[in-house]
Amino acid sequence: MFWRNHRQWMVLSKYGKIVNQHWLEIPEHFPNAKLDEYIIMPNHLHGILIIEDDGYYREQACLFFA
């Protein structure tokens, strides 16, 4: 479980904190990815991930398949 009920508040568990940390680190690994709203559910994550097209990856893919 990613969070637990604590006095009517939802508190992230140690696994939920890991999920949160990794979600926030996505742009460090993928510079063309931008994070928007997200919510950590008891056993999964909902999030909006915006992938910006800078043309670089498309050109590399075209060279690869040419």
- pLDDT average per 10 residues of sequence, the chain (66 residues): 68 91 93 92 93 68 53
pTM of the model: 0.70
pLDDT at 59: 58
| 52 touches 30 (CB < 8 A) | no
Which DSSP helix (H) or strand (E) runs through 6? Answer: strand 3-6
How far is Cα 19 from Cα 40, in angstroms, rounded to an integer? 8
For residue 40, the tally of other CB atoms under 10 A from its CB is: 20
The two tokens of residue 29 are 């690994």
How far is Cα 64 from Cα 3, in angstroms, rounded to an integer? 43
